[in-house]
Amino acid sequence: MNTVKTTFLLTLLTVLFVFVGNALGGEGGMMFAFLFAIAMNFGAYFFSDKIVLKMYKAQELQRSDNPQLFSMMEEMTMKANLPMPKLYLIPSEQPNAFATGRDPQHSAVAVTEGIMKTLSKEELKGVLGHELAHILHRDILIGTIAATVAGAISMLANMAQWAMIFGGGRRDDREEGSPFGGILMLILAPIAAMLIQMAISRSREFLADEGGARLSGNPRFLSGALRKLDTKSKMIPMDATPATAHMFIVSPLAGLGGITNLFSTHPPMEERVARLEAMTV
């Protein structure tokens, strides 16, 4: 069901993109904005792992640094029939983790120093299983597609707003409809694109939770980990950016509260835990 929902939301993003393109007018302008957005996201897609890992000062781990971590990961990669991802350590006390890389052959899993201190061996295994599920499901590819279309929508809306300011509104007398309706649509379209993008991210989190529970061998490993991570992430701040918050297993911005939680890329923790515990019944 989540896969169907993701496909529907991606289609909705595309339709919204075409709709905004119509408001801007002219196929040339629409294609320019779309190609420019694709070019930006193309670079981000192929270099996303290096960019994000460097952003969080992550250091690559060797087996000698933590043999137990490597053993757990190798056990689950064999179970999932995946290549072994590179492992990284982030110098942050907030317990958290994320996966990155454009495909299973170019993947990496990063864990914080805080998560290594907070979780038991079983709980850590559940978290690693969750991140491997993201790699298995190619969630980074889906996220990149969503970001590409959503970014193009925002760019087109900005171009259209400037065109209205300097171009005097409608392009020619053949156009119909209220200019106020057009302006309202151009304001609301980027917000709608952002909400759709967040809905896609939330759907992928549920799938990763389910996959992580199966790979780790016990749903309670991950549900117990999520409870701890949810509590600790609200107590310990992390210098994270909203643009990358969706990558983490729990939002690194959870402790900020207010409007940040309103636009969270993660499903409610209570629902995630309830779904995992239902798997054990």
> Annotated catalytic sites, by residue?
131
Question: How many angstroms from the chain centroid is the CA of residue 196?
Answer: 12
Dump strand ranges (E) for 22-165.
59-60, 86-90, 97-100, 108-112
Residue 105 backbone phi and psi in degrees, to 5: -80, -15
Which tokens hold the place of 256? Answer: 């900020």
Residue 78 backbone phi and psi in degrees, to 5: -65, -40
- Cβ-based neighbour number of residue 181 at 10 Å: 10
Look at residue 272 and give its three-state secondary structure: helix
Q: Say how many Å lie between the first and final Cα of the chain, rounded.
A: 21
